C-alpha cells in the first residue's frame, strides 16, 4: 500500500464517491493530506466539501472508494472508534452538561482514570483560555467561548486528525479575525493535522498550509494559498479566490503573445503557453498587478506595444487601504484595477469619467484553462 509506506501522508482519499439518491455529492475524489498539515476544503454551498468531511468523521459512508487514515482502511470503522475528532459547525455542545463535563465526555469513553481526566480537561480548557469556565453550562457562554469549548472538547482526546466544519462561520467579523490566529497558533502548538471546511476564501487563505478548491463534487485545484492565488488552474478558481480580469484571445506561439479583440495591443506573457497555435485561450490578470494612471501622464509619449489598455473610469470604490477602479473599455467591458493608497492625498488625481491608461508587466498575466 503506497499510502501506508509514505510516513508523510496521514489521510489518503482514493476515488471516493458519494451518491445521495441520484445526486453525486462527491464525485471520485483523490486526495492526500500530510501529517501535521492545516488543510482546507474550500468551495461554495453544495460543492460536496461537508460531505467529504463527514465521510472522514464516519458520519457518512462512501458509495465507492476508500478512505485511509494513518494507513488503516476506515471502511468498517464506526465514528466512535476513529482516531478522528470533529468540531461541528453548530459546536454541538451537550446542553445538559457543564463545560468541563463536555470536555471530559470523550475521555470517559476512553476510560481514562479520573485524576488524569481532570488534569487533561483543565489543560485543554486553559489552552483555550477558559480555565475559569468549567462549571458553566453552554448556554451561559458567548459564541466565541462556545467555539473554544468545542475546540477543547475535540482536542483533549489528542486525535490524529481534527475535522473542523466551518469553525468560524457563527462568529462576527472582528471575533473571526482574532480567532483565526488563535486557531492557527493552537494547531502549531498541538501539532495535530487539521482539515477545515469553509466557504470563506479569506479564511482558507489565512489559515491553511494547503487547500483544495471544490466544485460540483470534484476537486478543481490543490495547492498552497500562494499557488492557488497566483496560478489558478482555471477561470472558476481565479474568480472564486479574489478578483481576476479575464481576457479571451488567440495565442500566437511564435512570440508567445495573445491577441485579444477587446484590447488595443497584444498581451505578452513570461510563461510559456501550452496551447495549439491559433487556439483560443483565456488570460487572467489580478487587479493589483495592474498600474493605472491618467491618460497622457506617462513618462514616455509613445504608447506601449503590448500589455496596455485605455478606458474610462466608471466607478471608484475607496476601501481605505486600497482603491478599486472600474475601468470601462471601448467595447463596454469593465476591467478592475486596484491601487494601494500610499499617500494621504487630499486631491485624488483620478476621478469619474477620466480617461486612463492601464499597464502591467509580462509576469502578471496567467493562462486560465477552461
Question: Which residues here bind other proteins, judged by CB under 8 A?
Answer: 46, 57-59, 78-82, 84-86, 88-90, 92-96, 105-106, 109-110, 153-154, 157
Nearer to other proteins, 159 or 311 (CB): 159
CB closer to other proteins out of 120 and 157: 157
Q: Closest separation between CB of residue 222 and other proteins, Å? A: 22
From the CB of residue 166, how many other CB atoms can be counted at a distance below 10 Å? 19
Closer residue to other proteins (CB): 78 or 296: 78
Rg (Cα) of the chain, in Å, rounded?
25
Q: Cα separations (Å) of 122 from 111, 128, 151? A: 17, 10, 14
Residue 200 CB partners (closer than 8 Å, separation 6+): 168, 169
Strand bridging mode 210-215 / 38-42: parallel
Question: Nearer Cβ to other proteins, position 105 or 133?
Answer: 105
Of 88 and 231, nearer to other proteins (C-beta) is 88
Task: DSSP letter for 150, please.
Answer: H
Specify the residue, 197 or 263, whose C-beta has the smaller distance to other proteins. 197
- In whole angstroms, what separates CA 104 from the centre of its chain? 32
Give per-residue burial for 211-250: e unless 16+ CB within 10 Å, then b.
bbbbbebbbbbbbebeebbebbbbbbbbebbbebbebebb
Nearest to 218 by CA among 37, 41, 34, 12: 41
Specify the 3-state DSSP secondary structure of 279.
coil
Between 21 and 261, whose beta carbon lies closer to other proteins?
Answer: 21
User: Which grid coordinates are listed for 358?
Assistant: 492601464
CA pair distance 196, 85, nearest whole angstrom:
12
Amino acid at each position: 500500500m503506497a499510502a501506508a509506506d509514505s510516513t508523510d501522508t496521514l489521510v489518503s482519499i482514493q476515488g471516493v464517491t458519494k451518491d445521495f439518491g441520484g445526486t453525486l455529492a462527491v464525485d471520485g475524489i483523490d486526495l492526500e493530506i500530510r501529517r501535521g498539515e492545516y488543510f482546507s476544503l474550500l468551495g461554495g454551498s453544495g460543492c460536496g466539501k461537508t460531505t467529504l468531511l463527514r465521510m472522514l468523521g464516519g458520519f457518512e459512508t462512501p458509495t465507492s472508494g476508500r478512505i485511509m487514515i494513518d494507513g488503516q482502511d476506515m471502511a468498517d470503522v464506526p465514528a466512535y472508534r476513529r482516531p478522528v475528532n470533529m468540531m461541528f459547525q453548530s459546536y454541538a455542545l451537550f446542553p445538559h452538561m457543564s463545560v468541563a463535563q463536555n470536555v471530559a465526555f470523550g475521555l470517559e469513553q476512553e476510560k481514562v482514570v479520573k485524576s488524569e481526566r481532570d488534569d487533561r480537561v483543565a489543560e485543554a480548557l486553559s489552552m483555550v483560555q477558559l480555565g475559569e469556565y468549567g462549571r458553566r453550562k453552554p448556554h451561559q457562554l458567548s459564541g466565541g467561548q462556545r467555539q473554544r469549548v468545542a475546540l477543547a472538547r475535540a482536542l483533549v482526546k489528542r486525535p490524529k486528525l481534527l475535522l473542523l466544519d466551518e469553525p468560524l462561520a457563527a462568529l462576527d467579523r472582528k471575533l473571526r479575525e482574532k480567532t483565526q490566529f488563535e486557531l492557527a497558533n493552537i494547531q502549531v502548538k498541538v501539532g495535530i493535522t487539521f482539515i477545515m471546511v469553509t466557504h470563506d476564501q479569506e479564511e482558507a487563505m489565512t489559515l491553511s498550509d494547503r487547500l483544495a478548491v471544490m466544485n460540483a463534487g470534484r476537486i478543481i485545484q490543490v495547492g498552497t494559498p500562494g499557488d492557488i492565488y497566483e496560478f489558478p488552474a482555471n477561470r472558476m478558481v481565479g474568480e472564486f479566490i479574489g478578483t481576476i480580469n479575464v481576457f479571451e484571445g488567440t495565442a500566437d506561439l511564435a512570440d508567445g503573445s495573445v491577441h485579444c479583440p477587446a484590447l488595443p495591443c497584444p498581451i505578452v506573457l513570461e510563461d510559456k503557453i501550452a496551447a495549439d497555435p491559433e487556439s483560443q485561450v483565456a488570460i487572467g490578470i489580478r487587479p493589483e498587478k495592474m498600474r493605472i494612471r491618467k491618460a497622457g501622464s506617462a513618462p514616455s509619449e509613445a504608447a506601449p506595444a503590448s500589455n496596455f489598455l485605455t478606458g474610462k473610469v466608471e466607478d471608484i470604490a475607496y476601501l481605505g487601504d486600497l482603491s478599486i477602479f472600474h475601468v470601462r473599455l471601448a467595447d463596454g467591458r469593465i476591467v478592475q484595477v486596484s491601487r494601494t493608497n500610499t499617500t494621504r492625498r487630499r486631491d485624488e488625481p483620478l476621478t469619474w469619467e477620466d480617461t486612463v491608461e492601464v499597464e502591467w508587466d509580462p509576469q502578471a498575466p496567467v493562462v486560465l484553462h477552461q
